[in-house]
Amino acid sequence: MTDAGSKDARLADARSTGPKTTGPKTTGPKTTRPQGPAARSGTPRARRITDTIPLSTKLAACTLILLLIGAAAISLTIRELVGNYMLEKTDAQLVNQAQLVYDNVDVLRSKDGDGASPGPSDYFMQIRDMDDAIVVTPLVPTLPNGVVSQPLLPANRSMAGVRIGRPFTTPAVVKTASGSNPDRSTVQVAHAPWRVLVVRLVQKVDGDTTENRGLVYIGLSLSDQIDTINTLTRYCAMVGLAIVLLGGAMATLLIQHTLTPLKRIEKTAAKIAAGDLSQRVPSAPENTEVGSLAASLNAMLARIEGSFHEQQQTTEKMKRFVSDASHELRTPLATIHGYSELYTMQRDMPGALERADESIAHIEASSSRMTVLVEDLLSLARLDEGRGIDITQQVAVRPLIADAADDLHALDPERTIRRGAVLLDESGRNSTPRLRFREGPMPDIELNGDGSRLRQVITNIVGNIHRYTPGDSPVEVALGMVPASIGPESLARMPSTERSMHRFLEAAEVGRSMQVGMNYAVIRFIDHGPGVPVASQAQIFERFYTADPSRARQKGGTGLGMSIAQSVVKAHRGFICASSSHGGGLTLTVILPVGPLEPVGVARQQTKVSTKGDRRGRKSRRS
């Protein structure tokens, strides 16, 4: 043997396993995928089965599977890492102690023969010559009950692919003494594989000259390492199983708690499906998925409920409209038919010519009334379809109102008609805003619209005042410009109620203070007649509405004038409503968009620029 330094240098790179034997590859019979309808329907059938499983069960099962995979991966990773680490430690022990074991082989043989406790005598050693022929096996560990375990080495005079200085793993060869009965644990230890290292037996001749004398096989049993790895694997499996069970229980509880809002949504949806459209999903923080879903569902349900009620109202209005139209048309038709029969019966009697003139006069009056009714119905139908109106004209509003006031004065000469401007009340800043009348000249306002249709709106309002108020009751007619922070589309969608009027006034107060929004032309007709009950003020814009329950038409009219006025105003993206007048009577307010409101800063800047331009022009002209 050489000195310890040169021996350690030769053993420093011993880190590999023994030779691997490979056998011929065997190929089994080729498997073919099933063809036909069964194969094609397999995946959809599996999907149908999985679709029937509740979501909570799917989530819990996925969580358990992930925990199982994680626990198994961690256990296998720990087993592999610890096994590699212990194998490297065994290789390092073989490399570092090979020289020491060889130098003390006699001492180790005496300990092994005496049956000493496990320790250095656990080493196996075999010495071969340069031809790889077995010379001697000085160390062979002996287990209790005479069980001998040694590594399976290459045959005599054969290396069998074993490389010098590279550790390798080989199975054990177990020999049991006759008559012995070893226990199970001893048998398991005996059958554990061995880790073997082959080193050169170098002897120093003289000076720096060395001579190879043979090969030394040194081995250690891997039973302790295998036992440690198996014990660690069992503990990892137990801990992993406990984590899987505990994690599965916690995941199930958490999933059930998380899906509770979805179950409430399901119950709410079932009640809505049963017909209760007033149900709403319980709210939750909107930064969560369930809260966002609940908010979206509630908004959708509100729109569905509103659309359903609108459809019901539309259906009821259509039924009432058909009934009222039939009633209104039946009266003149019955009159025409009756007077025609009367004329036929009395034409051969004395004085038939005078009675014929009277019958023809009644027939003419009834046909004229029916013509007006049909024309109004046709006008409403065209307005509902968006036809028969052109809002691209430039219309001056003040002349229309002035002509209507003159017409009302011509119809009722004894009526007092005051003209003035509409102003947003600035006195009550802490109270609800309101519009007030100030007598004086009306402002000049122009807007885009249909002049003939707007004149029809004002004429219908004046006609109602003439028919349903005393001829000597006063009337105020006013026009004004009011800014409001509300869009024309939103304004046109508001119902013709006093609450909508309050919303517009609130928007007008915001628009006046912030100088943002749109300018609106506000037209008001204030009468002081008998008025209309508050509960019926929104109904005057319904078709064929009349305050007379008997539907008597002594005062004229078809009950469609205010419906036509509302349709025309909404076609102009405006708003009309009725409210009670201060001191009794009825006030009709028409609001029409004029144009965007310019900010005060921009208007002042434009004024300054124009003033500077005028000054520069004057200076240049003077020069």
Distant-in-sequence, close-in-space partners of 50: CB < 8 Å, separation ≥ 6: 58
State yes or no: pLDDT of 256 exceeds 60.
Answer: yes
User: What is the C-alpha to C-alpha distance for residues 232 and 244, in angstroms, rounded to an integer?
Assistant: 18
Q: Are 236 and 79 in contact (CB under 8 A)?
A: yes
Least confident span in 295-299, 312-316, 580-584: 312-316
Closest CA to 574 of 592, 596, 597: 592
Three-state DSSP at 587 gives strand
Three-state DSSP at 135 gives strand
Residue with tokens 């039973």: 223
More confident residue, 130 or 347: 130
State yes or no: pLDDT of 260 exceeds 60.
Answer: yes
Q: What is the pLDDT of residue 519?
A: 94
Q: Are 592 and 410 in contact (CB under 8 A)?
A: no
Closest CA to 435 of 420, 425, 447: 425
Residue 198, Cβ neighbours under 10 Å: how many? 25
Q: Are 494 and 413 in contact (CB under 8 A)?
A: no
Q: Would the CA dihedral through 216, 221, 222, 224 be positive or negative? A: negative
User: What is the C-alpha to C-alpha distance for residues 204 and 144, in angstroms, rounded to an integer?
Assistant: 40
Q: Which two tokens stand for residue 482?
A: 């009011």
User: What is the C-alpha to C-alpha distance for residues 104 and 268, in angstroms, rounded to an integer?
Assistant: 87
Q: Which two tokens stand for residue 459?
A: 């004429």
Three-state DSSP at 60 gives helix
Q: Are 398 and 442 in contact (CB under 8 A)?
A: yes
Q: What is the pLDDT of residue 296?
A: 87
Residue 77, Cβ neighbours under 10 Å: how many? 11
| Per-residue confidence band for 514, with pLDDT thresholds at 50, 70 and 90 | confident
The DSSP line for 275-309 is T-TT--PPP--TTSHHHHHHHHHHHHHHHHHHHHH
Q: Which two tokens stand for residue 136?
A: 């001697």
Q: Are 197 and 219 in contact (CB under 8 A)?
A: yes
Amino acid, single-letter form, for residue 192: A
- Does the reported pTM lie above 0.85? no
Tell me the per-residue pLDDT of 445-504, one tens digit each, with 9 for 90 and over. Answer: 999 999 999 999 999 999 989 988 998 999 999 999 999 999 999 999 898 888 899 999
Least confident span in 68-77, 309-318, 342-351: 342-351
Residue 524 has phi, psi (to 5 degrees) of -130, 135
| Per-residue confidence band for 524, with pLDDT thresholds at 50, 70 and 90 | very high
Strand partners, 484: 518
Least confident span in 314-318, 392-396, 531-535, 592-596: 314-318
Question: Helix, strand, coil proportions of the chain in percent (round to 5)?
Answer: 55, 20, 30
User: What is the C-alpha to C-alpha distance for residues 289 and 189, in angstroms, rounded to an integer?
Assistant: 59
Q: Would the CA dihedral through 481, 484, 487, 491 be positive or negative? A: negative
- Rg, C-alpha atoms of the chain: 54
Residue with tokens 């550790």: 167
In this structure, the strands spanning 124-128 and 134-139 are antiparallel
Q: Are 56 and 256 in contact (CB under 8 A)?
A: yes
Residue with tokens 């009266």: 331
Q: What is the pLDDT of residue 513?
A: 85
User: What is the C-alpha to C-alpha distance for residues 128 and 137, in angstroms, rounded to an integer?
Assistant: 9
Least confident span in 178-182, 545-549, 605-609: 605-609
Least confident span in 74-83, 259-268, 328-337: 328-337
Q: Which two tokens stand for residue 25?
A: 């590859």
Residue with tokens 């249709």: 453
Least confident span in 307-321, 525-539, 594-608: 594-608
State yes or no: pLDDT of 218 exceeds 70.
Answer: yes
Tell me the per-residue pLDDT of 392-418, one tens digit each, with 9 for 90 and over. Answer: 899 999 999 999 999 999 999 999 999
Q: What is the mean pLDDT of the chain?
A: 79
Closest CA to 462 of 420, 519, 417: 417
Query: Using a CB cutoff of 8 Å and minimum separation of 24, what contacts does 55-59 make?
Result: 55/259, 55/262, 56/252, 56/255, 56/256, 56/259, 59/251, 59/255
Angle (CA) 318 319 321, round 5°: 60
Distant-in-sequence, close-in-space partners of 540: CB < 8 Å, separation ≥ 6: 532, 562, 578
| Per-residue confidence band for 306, with pLDDT thresholds at 50, 70 and 90 | confident
State yes or no: pLDDT of 77 exceeds 90.
Answer: yes
More confident residue, 83 or 535: 83
User: What is the C-alpha to C-alpha distance for residues 196 and 91, in angstroms, rounded to an integer?
Assistant: 9
Region 521-547: mean pLDDT is: 85
Distant-in-sequence, close-in-space partners of 387: CB < 8 Å, separation ≥ 6: none
Cα–Cα distances in angstroms (integers) from residue 59 to residues 171, 246, 258, 261, in the given order: 47, 15, 11, 16
